[in-house]
Amino acid sequence: MTDAIELATEATKPETFNFAEAILDRNYPEIKVPVYLDEKRVQVLVDLMRERGPLEEKAARSNKPPVEVAKRLGEIEELVNTITEELKASEYTVEIKGIAPEDHEDLILKARESFPVEYIEKPNPITGATVKTEVENEQRDDYLAALIRQAHLVSVTAPNGAVDADFKGDENIAKVKKTFARLPWIARYKIDEAIKEATIAVDFYREIADEVF
Protein backbone atom coordinates (compact mmCIF):
# COMPACT_ATOMS: atom_id res chain seq x y z
CA MET A 1 0.00 0.00 0.00
CA THR A 2 2.85 2.36 0.86
CA ASP A 3 4.50 1.70 -2.50
CA ALA A 4 1.27 2.53 -4.29
CA ILE A 5 0.95 5.83 -2.40
CA GLU A 6 4.55 6.73 -3.21
CA LEU A 7 4.01 5.95 -6.91
CA ALA A 8 0.83 8.02 -6.98
CA THR A 9 2.56 10.93 -5.24
CA GLU A 10 5.51 10.77 -7.65
CA ALA A 11 3.16 10.78 -10.64
CA THR A 12 1.45 13.97 -9.51
CA LYS A 13 4.69 15.91 -9.00
CA PRO A 14 5.21 18.70 -11.59
CA GLU A 15 7.99 18.30 -14.12
CA THR A 16 11.14 20.18 -13.10
CA PHE A 17 13.43 22.42 -15.16
CA ASN A 18 16.43 24.73 -14.72
CA PHE A 19 15.17 28.33 -14.75
CA ALA A 20 18.75 29.71 -14.85
CA GLU A 21 19.26 27.95 -18.20
CA ALA A 22 15.91 29.21 -19.49
CA ILE A 23 16.95 32.79 -18.70
CA LEU A 24 20.18 32.37 -20.66
CA ASP A 25 18.22 31.20 -23.71
CA ARG A 26 15.70 34.05 -23.74
CA ASN A 27 15.27 36.22 -26.83
CA TYR A 28 16.37 39.85 -27.09
CA PRO A 29 15.30 42.55 -29.54
CA GLU A 30 17.04 42.41 -32.91
CA ILE A 31 17.28 45.48 -35.16
CA LYS A 32 18.74 45.72 -38.66
CA VAL A 33 20.17 49.12 -39.61
CA PRO A 34 20.80 50.00 -43.27
CA VAL A 35 24.07 51.87 -43.75
CA TYR A 36 25.27 53.73 -46.83
CA LEU A 37 28.91 54.68 -47.22
CA ASP A 38 28.47 56.83 -50.34
CA GLU A 39 28.00 60.12 -48.48
CA LYS A 40 28.24 62.19 -51.66
CA ARG A 41 25.29 60.40 -53.24
CA VAL A 42 23.30 60.62 -50.01
CA GLN A 43 23.90 64.38 -49.92
CA VAL A 44 22.62 64.73 -53.50
CA LEU A 45 19.49 62.82 -52.45
CA VAL A 46 18.99 65.07 -49.42
CA ASP A 47 19.38 68.20 -51.57
CA LEU A 48 16.82 66.92 -54.08
CA MET A 49 14.30 66.19 -51.33
CA ARG A 50 14.83 69.63 -49.84
CA GLU A 51 14.19 71.16 -53.26
CA ARG A 52 11.10 69.01 -53.77
CA GLY A 53 9.31 70.20 -50.61
CA PRO A 54 8.73 73.87 -51.56
CA LEU A 55 7.88 72.90 -55.16
CA GLU A 56 5.21 70.47 -53.95
CA GLU A 57 3.75 73.19 -51.71
CA LYS A 58 3.71 75.59 -54.66
CA ALA A 59 1.99 73.00 -56.85
CA ALA A 60 -0.59 72.24 -54.13
CA ARG A 61 -1.65 75.90 -53.96
CA SER A 62 -2.70 75.88 -57.60
CA ASN A 63 -5.27 73.82 -59.50
CA LYS A 64 -2.88 73.82 -62.43
CA PRO A 65 0.77 74.02 -61.32
CA PRO A 66 3.14 76.05 -63.53
CA VAL A 67 4.67 73.98 -66.30
CA GLU A 68 8.22 74.54 -65.04
CA VAL A 69 7.26 73.41 -61.53
CA ALA A 70 5.60 70.23 -62.77
CA LYS A 71 8.57 69.55 -65.05
CA ARG A 72 11.10 69.99 -62.27
CA LEU A 73 9.08 67.79 -59.90
CA GLY A 74 9.11 65.06 -62.51
CA GLU A 75 12.88 65.39 -62.93
CA ILE A 76 13.41 65.27 -59.19
CA GLU A 77 11.20 62.19 -58.83
CA GLU A 78 13.19 60.39 -61.51
CA LEU A 79 16.53 61.35 -59.95
CA VAL A 80 15.38 60.36 -56.45
CA ASN A 81 14.24 56.94 -57.67
CA THR A 82 17.51 56.37 -59.54
CA ILE A 83 19.74 57.38 -56.63
CA THR A 84 17.62 55.40 -54.15
CA GLU A 85 18.01 52.24 -56.22
CA GLU A 86 21.75 52.83 -56.53
CA LEU A 87 22.06 53.30 -52.78
CA LYS A 88 20.09 50.14 -52.05
CA ALA A 89 22.48 48.22 -54.29
CA SER A 90 25.39 49.47 -52.12
CA GLU A 91 23.62 48.99 -48.77
CA TYR A 92 25.37 47.47 -45.77
CA THR A 93 23.18 45.95 -43.08
CA VAL A 94 24.26 46.24 -39.45
CA GLU A 95 22.53 43.82 -37.09
CA ILE A 96 22.06 44.96 -33.50
CA LYS A 97 20.81 42.82 -30.63
CA GLY A 98 19.72 43.76 -27.12
CA ILE A 99 21.59 42.55 -24.05
CA ALA A 100 20.56 41.80 -20.50
CA PRO A 101 20.60 44.72 -18.03
CA GLU A 102 23.09 42.86 -15.84
CA ASP A 103 25.43 42.50 -18.84
CA HIS A 104 25.26 46.25 -19.35
CA GLU A 105 26.14 46.79 -15.70
CA ASP A 106 29.10 44.42 -16.11
CA LEU A 107 30.38 46.58 -18.98
CA ILE A 108 30.26 49.66 -16.76
CA LEU A 109 32.14 47.79 -14.06
CA LYS A 110 34.74 46.61 -16.59
CA ALA A 111 35.34 50.16 -17.82
CA ARG A 112 35.69 51.46 -14.26
CA GLU A 113 38.13 48.67 -13.42
CA SER A 114 40.21 49.37 -16.53
CA PHE A 115 40.22 53.09 -15.79
CA PRO A 116 39.84 53.44 -12.00
CA VAL A 117 37.69 56.28 -10.75
CA GLU A 118 39.53 59.23 -9.25
CA TYR A 119 38.10 61.90 -7.01
CA ILE A 120 38.96 65.44 -6.10
CA GLU A 121 38.07 66.89 -2.73
CA LYS A 122 36.76 70.41 -2.41
CA PRO A 123 35.22 72.22 0.53
CA ASN A 124 31.54 73.05 0.29
CA PRO A 125 31.40 76.88 0.04
CA ILE A 126 28.42 77.00 2.40
CA THR A 127 29.02 74.29 4.99
CA GLY A 128 32.78 73.99 4.70
CA ALA A 129 32.45 70.21 4.61
CA THR A 130 34.72 68.30 2.25
CA VAL A 131 32.91 67.03 -0.84
CA LYS A 132 34.29 64.30 -3.10
CA THR A 133 33.65 64.77 -6.81
CA GLU A 134 34.38 62.16 -9.46
CA VAL A 135 36.94 63.27 -12.04
CA GLU A 136 35.76 62.91 -15.62
CA ASN A 137 37.78 60.43 -17.67
CA GLU A 138 37.37 60.68 -21.44
CA GLN A 139 39.37 57.48 -22.03
CA ARG A 140 37.02 55.52 -19.79
CA ASP A 141 33.97 57.02 -21.50
CA ASP A 142 35.31 56.11 -24.96
CA TYR A 143 36.18 52.60 -23.79
CA LEU A 144 32.71 52.09 -22.30
CA ALA A 145 31.08 53.32 -25.53
CA ALA A 146 33.15 50.79 -27.48
CA LEU A 147 32.23 48.00 -25.04
CA ILE A 148 28.52 48.78 -25.34
CA ARG A 149 28.67 48.92 -29.14
CA GLN A 150 30.65 45.67 -29.24
CA ALA A 151 28.16 43.90 -26.96
CA HIS A 152 25.20 44.85 -29.18
CA LEU A 153 26.90 44.40 -32.56
CA VAL A 154 26.08 41.01 -34.10
CA SER A 155 27.21 41.31 -37.70
CA VAL A 156 27.57 43.50 -40.78
CA THR A 157 26.36 42.21 -44.14
CA ALA A 158 27.95 43.68 -47.29
CA PRO A 159 26.04 44.43 -50.51
CA ASN A 160 27.37 41.19 -52.04
CA GLY A 161 26.06 39.12 -49.10
CA ALA A 162 29.41 38.62 -47.34
CA VAL A 163 29.15 38.76 -43.55
CA ASP A 164 31.55 40.15 -40.96
CA ALA A 165 30.65 38.78 -37.51
CA ASP A 166 34.12 39.03 -35.98
CA PHE A 167 33.58 41.78 -33.41
CA LYS A 168 33.55 40.01 -30.04
CA GLY A 169 36.34 39.67 -27.49
CA ASP A 170 38.98 41.99 -26.08
CA GLU A 171 41.13 41.40 -29.16
CA ASN A 172 38.48 43.12 -31.34
CA ILE A 173 37.75 46.18 -29.20
CA ALA A 174 40.23 48.23 -31.29
CA LYS A 175 38.43 47.07 -34.45
CA VAL A 176 35.09 48.26 -33.04
CA LYS A 177 36.57 51.64 -32.12
CA LYS A 178 38.13 52.07 -35.57
CA THR A 179 34.95 50.97 -37.34
CA PHE A 180 32.75 53.50 -35.56
CA ALA A 181 35.36 56.25 -35.87
CA ARG A 182 35.38 55.84 -39.66
CA LEU A 183 31.64 55.47 -40.18
CA PRO A 184 29.71 58.39 -41.69
CA TRP A 185 28.22 60.46 -38.89
CA ILE A 186 24.63 59.65 -39.81
CA ALA A 187 25.41 55.91 -39.93
CA ARG A 188 27.00 56.02 -36.47
CA TYR A 189 24.01 57.97 -35.17
CA LYS A 190 21.53 55.42 -36.60
CA ILE A 191 23.42 52.48 -35.09
CA ASP A 192 23.66 54.15 -31.68
CA GLU A 193 19.93 54.94 -31.82
CA ALA A 194 19.22 51.28 -32.61
CA ILE A 195 21.28 50.26 -29.57
CA LYS A 196 19.23 52.66 -27.43
CA GLU A 197 16.01 51.28 -28.92
CA ALA A 198 17.04 47.72 -28.13
CA THR A 199 17.96 48.75 -24.58
CA ILE A 200 14.63 50.53 -24.09
CA ALA A 201 12.79 47.44 -25.40
CA VAL A 202 14.52 45.26 -22.80
CA ASP A 203 13.70 47.74 -20.03
CA PHE A 204 10.10 48.08 -21.29
CA TYR A 205 9.69 44.30 -21.15
CA ARG A 206 10.88 44.40 -17.55
CA GLU A 207 8.25 47.07 -16.73
CA ILE A 208 5.50 45.04 -18.43
CA ALA A 209 6.59 41.91 -16.60
CA ASP A 210 6.44 43.77 -13.29
CA GLU A 211 2.90 44.99 -14.04
CA VAL A 212 1.52 41.73 -15.47
CA PHE A 213 3.21 39.28 -13.15
188-211 burial, b if ≥16 CB within 10 A, otherwise e?
bebbbebbeebbeebeeeeeeeee
162 lies in a domain? yes
* Reported confidence tier of residue 79, pLDDT bands at 50, 70, 90: very high
Determine, yes or no, domain membership for 183. yes
Domain containing 198 equals 27-36+91-212
Looking at the domain assignment, is residue 125 inside a domain? yes
Tell me how many domains the chain contains. Answer: 1
Backbone phi, psi, residue 163, to 5°: -120, 135
116 falls within a domain: yes
Query: Does a structural domain hold residue 63?
Result: no
pLDDT tens sequence across 146-163: 999 999 999 999 999 999
Domain assignment of residue 147, yes or no: yes
Looking at the domain assignment, is residue 11 inside a domain? no
Amino acid 208: pLDDT = 44
Residues 157-182 have a mean pLDDT of 95
